[in-house]
């Protein structure tokens, strides 16, 4: 995959929007829609099954969560604003005229408002992209889950 196409996946912070559970074009949404279709009217069955398999008592909560995932509607970081509250990275990278934070002379800056885990991940992703390049980084991480 070429650089321009990779930009449709990787946000300026380095996270892969297509792997995000909020993404309207991601696999999590796509598979959730499919599971919801396959389960059809399972509600009635879940109630009956719960008499001998107690785990099915949690089916209504599972169905609600599945509907939430199936309704994911974020167009991705480069297509709008991230759902992460108060993230400055999209606007800041635009101002700095870079595609990713590692391309900015101030990286790693103290402006980001990430929690400590995400900040660590942001530094790690961008340092790695700086080391091996965006295309190689995308290949290296393409089969890894987003949430790790
Ligand atoms: S912009 Fe943020 S919330 Fe939207 S898909 Fe990308 S990472 Fe997920
Ligand atoms: S100042 Fe910080 S947040 Fe803004 S582009 Fe540079 S590294 Fe990213």
Per-residue pLDDT, 81:
67
Residue whose CA lies nearest to ligand 2 atom number 5: 93
| For ligand 1, mutation pick of 6, 8, 75, 77 (most atoms within 8 Å of CB) | 77
pLDDT digits 0-9 by tens, 65-108: 999 999 999 999 998 767 888 899 999 999 999 999 999 999 99
Residues 18-62 have pLDDT tens digits of 999 999 999 999 999 999 999 999 999 999 999 999 999 999 999
Cβ partners under 8 Å of residue 24, min gap 6? 72, 73, 74, 75, 76
Q: Which of 111, 118, 126, 127 to mutate to test the pocket of ligand 2 (most atoms within 8 A of CB)?
A: 111
Whether the model pTM is above 0.85: yes
Predicted confidence band of residue 6 (pLDDT cuts 50, 70, 90): very high
Query: How far, in Å, from the CA of 46 to the mean position of ligand 1?
Result: 33
Residues 6 or more apart from 74 whose CB is under 8 A from it?
Answer: 17, 20, 22, 23, 24, 80, 82, 83
Interatomic CA distance for residues 106 and 129, integer angstroms: 15
């Amino acid at each position: 995959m070429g650089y321009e196409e990779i930009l449709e996946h990787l946000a300026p912070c380095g996270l892969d929007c297509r792997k995000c559970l909020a993404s309207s074009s991601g696999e999590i949404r796509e598979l959730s829609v499919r599971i919801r279709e396959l389960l059809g009217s399972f509600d009635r069955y879940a109630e009956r099954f719960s008499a001998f398999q107690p785990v099915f008592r949690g089916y209504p909560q599972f169905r609600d969560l599945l509907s939430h995932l199936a309704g994911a509607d974020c167009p991705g970081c480069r297509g709008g604003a991230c759902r992460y509250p108060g993230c400055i990275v999209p606007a800041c990278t635009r101002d700095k005229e870079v595609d990713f934070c590692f391309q900015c002379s101030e990286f790693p800056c103290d402006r980001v408002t990430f929690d400590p885990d995400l900040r660590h991940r942001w530094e790690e992703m961008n340092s790695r992209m700086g080391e091996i390049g965006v295309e190689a980084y995308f290949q290296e991480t393409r089969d890894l889950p987003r949430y790790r």
